[in-house]
A and B are shown apart, each in its own frame.
Chain A
Amino acid sequence: MKYLLVIAFMFFIGSIAFAQEGTVTGKVKGQDGLTIPGASVVVKGTTNGVATDMDGNYLIKVANIKTAILQFSYLGYATQEIAVAGRDNLSVTMKEATTDIEEVVVVGYGTSTKKTLTGATSQIGGEEVEKLNVARVDQALQGQVSGVAINTNSGSPGGSSSIRIRGLSTFGDNDPLILVDGVVYDSEGLNALNPNDIASVNVLKDATAGIYGVRAANGVIIIETKKGALNSAPQVEFSSYVGIQNTARRLDLLNATEYAVIKNEIIGSAGDPVPFNNTSLGEGTDWQDEVFQSALIQNYNFSVLGGNKNSTYSAGASYFTQDGIVGGDKSNFERINARLNLGNQLNEKVKLNSVILYTNEKRRALPENGIGSVLYNTINAFPNEPVKTADGNFSYLEEVTDIINPLAQIENSENQAIVNKIVGKEELVYKINDNFTFTNRLNYNYAAVDFKAFSPLVWYGPGKAQNSALNANLEPTRVEIADSVFIERGASVFESRSTFVDLNGESYLNYNRIFNEDHSVKGTFGVSVFQRTGNQLNGSAFNIPGNSVEYADISANLAPGGFLNNTGSFEFEERLLSTFFRGDYGYKGKYLGSIIIRRDGSSKFGPNNRFGTFPTVSGAWLISEEDFFNFEKITFAKLRASYGISGNDQIQNFAYRAQLDGEGVYVFDDVIVQGVAIGRASNPDLKWESTRQFNLGLDLVVGENFNITTNYFIKNTKDLLFQPEVSGVLGTNGPGGQSPIVNAGDVSNKGIELELAYYSAREKKLQYAINFNTTYLRNEVLKTPEGVEFIPGAAFGVGGGVATRFEEGFAIGYFHGFETNGIFQTQEEIDNATVVQEGAKPGDLKYVDQNGDGVISFNDDSDRKELGSAIPDFTFGLNVSASYKNFDFSMNVFAAVGQEIIRNYERQQPYANQLDYVIDRWVGAGTSDENPRLTSEANRNGEFSDYFVENGSFMRIKNMQLGYTLPKAITEKLKSNSIRFYVSVNNLLTVTQYRGYDPEIGSVGGALAAGVDYGFYPQARTVMGGFNFKF
């Protein structure tokens, strides 16, 4: 209601008379003499602008025909500024851009240009995104810009990435705020977006992201989708690619003969009879061969964009499907989407922008990345067993309870998540006058998620925990529901229906004016109201007939009386209320300053701390505009600095109060009874965590073709939102209990970013562009909560100790364990050693006595030390593209150096298969100083030590592409603008010492589990061919 009043009020602001007003007309052409329709003509310092018509003509009214300056811009051309100087006709010839510092950049609630930005940002154009042929837009960001680390959480189709802007700054949610056309997306939600629809991506890395206040601490990614231009002919595009994916890597595992020899040794060493009397078993089963397969990836994309005098349109539809290299169609992702962007000039003053995107996603997934995942079972399965036994059943792999036949596992996996999503906005832009624009919009994001998983009765072999049947005949187990009353428990199905709705109303006023030619003033003031709601209803039902997926629906259940069936639900709502202000001032285009203040109220916090204010100041000095600046070679030089505070409120709702949502369940009269218990302990003083960030940057353009951008930053995050361990005395360690969420701990990220870009001149026959970027990052925990020495992270092995930590003085999630110093070669060496290592025998790892007390202490931390971290010291991106005549070529390389990975996918079980490095094990004095003896005797070699830590540095050619565009002569005969064919390889080559599948592993279990490899689903190598028709 209030908004209506405000809008009405704005409309009320009357018309304004113009002084010395006049009209300018003209024609806009390219260097080739062809006219350019849809080019933008704007009166500088105002929002007054028009677009050229189909013939490149324009007509614009200016307030002061003597002093006005017109800006001409069009995508791919250098922006020109021409003073009108009283003329009424002004035609221009646009030059194709090489490096364009006038390029318009979308920042929060407004636009700026590269030239006048005061913050640290990085941009990628839609073309680059499209070229990479990735399933998700964030995958295209990797290696393209500095300061942004993208790690794939899983190579499985539909898998997400972890996106980290300038390092890990918090214990919990490190995802940046992602806005697509102003609508909030979560990083998971990026699956819905077709990368071909992207017009531009802008990453706000420093404190100038603070315009988004309480959600900006992890940086902001602003994505704009393609829009049509006024007065442009319809441009129709059809493109497609089809590719074959294969695993880029296999592990070197023992074959059956090697396996038998080594297992005999292990089991024999403990004095037990050896299991294999005959070790000549040949190669045996290569489980990786059986599990990995070639898988298809396909993309079809149709789009049309254009516009007439008053309206623009951009519409598209796409279909994408990808099978998994593990599991094929059992691990599939499919996306159908349709989108419409409309711009309508309703009258001279009012413009309506509509964006609507519909997506239908389907994802099927296999257990991955953990104990019990398909790949974990694949690695550990015994090569001496066949996939299927003579009777046609899957083999049981009986020797280890926890390892099941991975192919049987794939066959028995049946699940599907279907997401239907409608995202968009309706935006009304009212141009009050040349200086004021008032924007009102409603953004919405509606998602309905339907999930179904079928659990058939399965039998993987005796004693397997995953068995749901009683025996190999797949007889159901029986449950006693009352004294001596048994019912059968058959196949089951779980279904859930969830709905998530974001609504976001925003109103803001933009002001833009140049006073006395020298003083440019821009201002933005607005309000934003955000509400997110969600709910789910789920249920599971048993005794699905026929043990068949065909009947896998709750409605089909035959469970007697519903004794086994179960239901659940949840509902949540959260809100944000914000006001924001940004003021920009520029003097003579040389000195630029900007102030941002945002005030946010978040329902995540209690009444004590509901509102927070987030200020940012930034400034830039365009040195190259100074008279004294006379380096001929350097055509542009800008020094930037920013400092500001932004926040992070990404925690569970209602953490400030205690609720009875714990688990209080006991058994009375042989029946399970539900009681109440406190869940998470309360913290009424809870508030957002805040990040103070300083950035110093320098932008240079050398000549016309060479851009250099560099940044130095210090990012300190305070009052981290933690759910640390608390004293057991508080009583929160019962079932369903949780520690309170508190603000404690500080983290610092410091780094240097460098981006270099070189473009060859446009006129040459051989054109090329090289873009190189690098980031140096140092992450350090400055403080842990009071009384907490460290916060434990990921576990190592099965039932093993904690391998990663959050601790003062170290990087987040650093690895902590024993340092080794070779192998004990002889008993004599052990006896004479100055350090006592209890239980050591020849062939055991020799640990280093860190505290020098002469004893290796296994029961405390005194002899454990830092063993590395998953955070790279340096990352590099190199992107090369070239074209010669009708051929074009591009290559993208990404490298990360200085990080470590914990090898945690080996099951430390006597019978589990192993990597073939164990062939070089210690078998007697002098045989190995690296790999310990293999034995099933009690030993300490499985303690977490640097033996399990590997160098994770790698370099990867992410994409290489060769294209051919048909000559114009042929194209024109086909009534087409351009026809291009290409072949492309993703993930062509990875150079690394890492032994696992893929050194590029994300952090599935949160910040502290980064770098722990549980049998990661590797990214595929994809060879594809595609084409691109434009009409």
Chain B
Amino acid sequence: MKKVNYKNFGIVLVTLLFSLTACEKFLDLEPPFSQDADNYFTEPSHYELALIGAYDLLQGSFINLWIGEIASDNSIAGGESVTDSQGLHEIEAMTHGAVNRELRNVFQWNYAGVGRANFILENKNNIEFEGKGQIIAEATFLRGYYYFQLVKYFGDVPLVIDERLGADEVTELERNSKVEVYAQIEEDLKFAAANLNPVNPVKGRVNKWAALALLGKVQLYQDKFGESATSLDQVINSMQYQLIGDYRNLFVVGNEGNSEAVFDVQFSGLEGGSYDCLICLEGNAAVGFHGIRQYSGPIYSDGNSYNLPTQDLYDAFEMADDIRRNATILDIDSFIGQQANPSAITYAIGGGGHTGLYNNKYIKKANELGLPDNDLTSPVNNVVIRYADVLLMAAEAHNRSNNDGQALLYLNQVRSRVNLSSVNTGGPALTDAIWNERRYELSGEGHRFFDLVRTGRAASEITGFQPGKHELFALPQIEISLAGGNWSQNPGY
């Protein structure tokens, strides 16, 4: 009897085991309504959609508006307190080091942009279709742009081209030299310029001239003045762009996409977001942050009092009637004094510093509110390359490659738009004039610090700037660690 019992038991066991092994398919589930990254790019729309993803990271450009100004002599960090966005306060004081959230954002966001462009480019040969060339060229442009940000901030950075890395492959990467990175950027931008259409009918998508303008800028940053002049001249000679009449209308939402916008990052005021993820916003975070703290009054709207212009910048405008001063800087008390009922207008001073001045180009205005959280959501586009910038870069490139005649022509175009008299000088004096003009024309737009560094004037203009160190920002220490700890830190940090 016992025997029978055990045999039965054995049969049951076997049956159960068998029933299970046959069921292993039970665990093969497919994620519902979701697409795999590895089997994508099977139809043209996939390229279009992935390209939108690659454009998305351009919206991180708002951080240049902060760091490009705060690191320079143009503005202070501001904000609620000195520990509110502490990284910016450290940059303001030139005490920034390898632990800095904002700088890490620059590193992360631009590599995310590179990654999304690479996702398209690694799959560029999957299928053929009409219009693919334009998409590939746009993706290549974007990669060039993102690498330019990285090299501008950090110098040597590892190049990842046309591939996605696995987590363990990162530790094998070395930092590529600045020269190699610039070579790659130029290659990408030249490819883009050659393949992009001169006119892109979709607002917000780049064209040939944007690529050439960025190429010219990249060349200028390497002191390749002749090549830069050639690139920029093509933009100017295309006759696609011209300075708009009234400088004060440059940063008004209603006037976006004007004839001066060569390359502008698009924002929308229709989607909210959270302070926890500024890169996730569709609105321009800088605008709300620049707003006047707890402002209650006409024209402007309230914000977080970030990135406050310095008196030094205010005083720098040599001509008090230069309309660009008040278009660039809002002197709040003077503004309130000019209003109908000044005593009804209130605002607060943040614990992070106060200069009485606000960035008047990118600032929250009452008729440009975004939703649902006004602080985070602004529709104001960030004009990354403005035609005036192209003219001034071209002027500098010509001047520094001994073609002052062309340089003066471009410089005086910019001056005459704001009714200033023509400059008529040459050589180093003209170089100085162009550089000064860049400050008058472009302050508040995130160029100043990088201009000072590239032209070797940072140490003389920025308090606390140590030559040989502060030309580059420190690589985030944690990024060095996460990449295996083999990278050396930038000098001085």
Which A residues contact B (CB, under 8 angstroms)?
A: 2-3, 5-6, 9-10, 13, 16-17, 272, 398-399, 401, 435-436, 462-463, 465, 468, 477, 479-481, 489, 507, 509, 511, 525-527, 529, 571-575, 577, 579, 601-603, 607, 610, 653-654, 657-678, 681-683, 725-737, 740, 742, 786-789, 797-801, 838, 857-861, 908-910, 936, 938-940, 942-943
Chain B residues with Cβ below 8 Å from A477 are: 369, 371
B19–A860 contact, CB under 8 A?
Answer: no
Nearest A residue (CB) for B113: A734
Q: How far is the CA of A667 from the CA of B26 in the complex (A)?
A: 43
Chain B residues with Cβ below 8 Å from A663 are: 56, 280
Nearest A residue (CB) for B253: A480
A735–B372 contact, CB under 8 A?
Answer: no
Which B residues contact A (CB, under 8 angstroms)?
A: 1, 5, 8-9, 11-13, 15-17, 19-20, 22-24, 26-29, 31-38, 40, 46, 48-59, 79-86, 90, 95-100, 104, 107-109, 111-116, 118-119, 158, 160, 164-165, 167, 170-171, 173, 202-205, 266-271, 277, 279-280, 282, 293-296, 302, 346, 348-349, 351, 353, 369, 371-375, 379, 476-479, 481-485
A658–B37 contact, CB under 8 A?
Answer: yes
Q: A660-B35, A726-B167 are in contact. Are A909 and B29 (CB under 8 A)?
A: no
Nearest B residue (CB) for A480: B269
A667–B204 contact, CB under 8 A?
Answer: yes
A859–B99 contact, CB under 8 A?
Answer: yes
Q: A602-B27, A733-B109, A734-B113 are in contact. Are A909 and B351 (CB under 8 A)?
A: yes
A678–B83 contact, CB under 8 A?
Answer: no
A678–B119 contact, CB under 8 A?
Answer: yes
Can you list 25 pairs linking A and B with CB atoms under 8 Å apart?
A: A2-B19, A3-B19, A462-B346, A480-B379, A529-B26, A603-B27, A610-B24, A653-B29, A666-B59, A668-B202, A671-B268, A674-B52, A682-B37, A726-B167, A727-B482, A728-B112, A729-B479, A730-B115, A733-B109, A733-B279, A798-B83, A800-B83, A858-B90, A909-B80, A909-B81
Chain B residues with Cβ below 8 Å from A786 are: 171, 484
Q: A525-B13, A668-B204, A787-B485 are in contact. Are A725 and B35 (CB under 8 A)?
A: no
B481–A734 contact, CB under 8 A?
Answer: no
The 9 nearest A-B residue pairs measured at CB: A731-B115, A675-B52, A664-B53, A734-B112, A859-B97, A733-B108, A677-B53, A2-B19, A667-B266
B296–A658 contact, CB under 8 A?
Answer: no
Chain A residues with Cβ below 8 Å from B82 are: 938-940, 942
B8–A735 contact, CB under 8 A?
Answer: no
Q: A529-B26, A653-B31, A938-B353 are in contact. Are A787 and B482 (CB under 8 A)?
A: yes
B55 CB to closest chain A CB (Å) equals 4
Q: Which of A463, A468, A572, A943 contacts B83 (CB 8 A)?
A: A943
A660–B40 contact, CB under 8 A?
Answer: yes
Chain A residues with Cβ below 8 Å from B38 are: 657-658, 682
Which of the listed residues B9, B79, B97, B104 has the most CB atoms from chain A within 10 Å of its own CB?
B9
Q: A659-B31, A860-B99 are in contact. Are A16 and B5 (CB under 8 A)?
A: yes
Chain A residues with Cβ below 8 Å from B86 are: 799-801
Q: A463-B295, A572-B32, A799-B84 are in contact. Are A579 and B20 (CB under 8 A)?
A: yes
Q: How far is the CA of A387 from the CA of B204 in the complex (A)?
A: 49
Chain A residues with Cβ below 8 Å from B171 are: 786-787
A271 CB to closest chain B CB (Å) equals 11
Chain A residues with Cβ below 8 Å from B15 are: 5-6, 9
Chain B residues with Cβ below 8 Å from A908 are: 81, 83, 351
Chain A residues with Cβ below 8 Å from B46 are: 676
Q: How far is the CA of A661 from the CA of B40 in the complex (A)?
A: 13
Q: A5-B15, A6-B15, A734-B112 are in contact. Are A465 and B95 (CB under 8 A)?
A: no
A842 CB to closest chain B CB (Å) equals 18
Q: How far is the CA of A729 from the CA of B100 in the complex (A)?
A: 17
Q: Which of A668, A729, A788 contacts B481 (CB 8 A)?
A: A788
B81 CB to closest chain A CB (Å) equals 6
Q: How far is the CA of A666 from the CA of B360 in the complex (A)?
A: 25
B162 CB to closest chain A CB (Å) equals 13
Chain A residues with Cβ below 8 Å from B12 are: 6, 9-10, 509
Q: How far is the CA of A910 from the CA of B80 in the complex (A)?
A: 9
B271–A838 contact, CB under 8 A?
Answer: no
Which of the listed residues A480, A731, A786 has the most CB atoms from chain B within 10 Å of its own CB?
A731
Q: A667-B268, A675-B49 are in contact. Are A730 and B167 (CB under 8 A)?
A: yes
A727–B170 contact, CB under 8 A?
Answer: yes
Chain B residues with Cβ below 8 Å from A681 are: 167
Q: A468-B372, A787-B485 are in contact. Are A734 and B279 (CB under 8 A)?
A: yes
Chain A residues with Cβ below 8 Å from B158 are: 729
Q: A2-B23, A731-B115 are in contact. Are A677 and B35 (CB under 8 A)?
A: no
Chain A residues with Cβ below 8 Å from B51 are: 675
A676–B302 contact, CB under 8 A?
Answer: no
Q: A577-B26, A659-B31, A668-B202 are in contact. Are A676 and B483 (CB under 8 A)?
A: no
Report the number of A-B residue pairs with Cβ-Cβ less than 8 Å. 318
A1025 CB to closest chain B CB (Å) equals 46
B66 CB to closest chain A CB (Å) equals 13
Q: How far is the CA of A155 from the CA of B1 in the complex (A)?
A: 62
A667–B349 contact, CB under 8 A?
Answer: no
Q: How far is the CA of A481 from the CA of B370 in the complex (A)?
A: 11
Q: How far is the CA of A579 from the CA of B5 in the complex (A)?
A: 22
Nearest B residue (CB) for A479: B371
A462–B294 contact, CB under 8 A?
Answer: yes
Q: How far is the CA of A495 from the CA of B266 in the complex (A)?
A: 32
Q: A6-B12, A463-B295, A667-B267 are in contact. Are A732 and B112 (CB under 8 A)?
A: yes
Q: How far is the CA of A658 from the CA of B39 in the complex (A)?
A: 10
Q: A465-B375, A664-B49, A664-B52 are in contact. Are A481 and B170 (CB under 8 A)?
A: no
B85–A799 contact, CB under 8 A?
Answer: yes
Q: A674-B52, A727-B482, A787-B484 are in contact. Are A659 and B36 (CB under 8 A)?
A: yes
Q: How far is the CA of A116 from the CA of B160 in the complex (A)?
A: 62
A527–B90 contact, CB under 8 A?
Answer: no
Chain B residues with Cβ below 8 Å from A577 are: 20, 23-24, 26-27
B156 CB to closest chain A CB (Å) equals 13
Nearest B residue (CB) for A662: B53
B111–A462 contact, CB under 8 A?
Answer: no
Q: A675-B52, A729-B158, A943-B83 are in contact. Are A654 and B31 (CB under 8 A)?
A: yes
Q: How far is the CA of A280 from the CA of B54 in the complex (A)?
A: 60
Which of the listed residues B19, B104, B485 has the most CB atoms from chain A within 10 Å of its own CB?
B19
Q: Which of A16, A479, A660 contacts B34 (CB 8 A)?
A: A660
Q: How far is the CA of A858 from the CA of B79 in the complex (A)?
A: 19
Q: How far is the CA of A1003 from the CA of B118 in the complex (A)?
A: 40
Q: A9-B11, A577-B24, A666-B59 are in contact. Are A677 and B348 (CB under 8 A)?
A: no
Q: A669-B204, A729-B483, A939-B82 are in contact. Are A664 and B56 (CB under 8 A)?
A: yes
Q: How far is the CA of A729 from the CA of B104 in the complex (A)?
A: 11
Q: How far is the CA of A658 from the CA of B375 in the complex (A)?
A: 34
Q: How far is the CA of A38 from the CA of B346 in the complex (A)?
A: 80
Q: Which of B22, B173, B205 contacts A729 (CB 8 A)?
A: B173
A657–B5 contact, CB under 8 A?
Answer: no
A481–B270 contact, CB under 8 A?
Answer: yes
Q: Which of A401, A573, A683 contacts B29 (CB 8 A)?
A: A573
Q: Which of B111, B348, B372 contacts A399 (CB 8 A)?
A: B348
Q: How far is the CA of A942 from the CA of B84 in the complex (A)?
A: 10
A659–B29 contact, CB under 8 A?
Answer: no
B22–A799 contact, CB under 8 A?
Answer: no
A666–B55 contact, CB under 8 A?
Answer: yes
A579–B34 contact, CB under 8 A?
Answer: no
A729–B52 contact, CB under 8 A?
Answer: no
Nearest B residue (CB) for A2: B19
Nearest A residue (CB) for B288: A465
Chain A residues with Cβ below 8 Å from B9 are: 436, 509, 511
A640 CB to closest chain B CB (Å) equals 29
Q: A660-B37, A788-B482, A799-B80 are in contact. Are A673 and B52 (CB under 8 A)?
A: yes
Q: Which of B8, B170, B269 contacts A730 (CB 8 A)?
A: B170
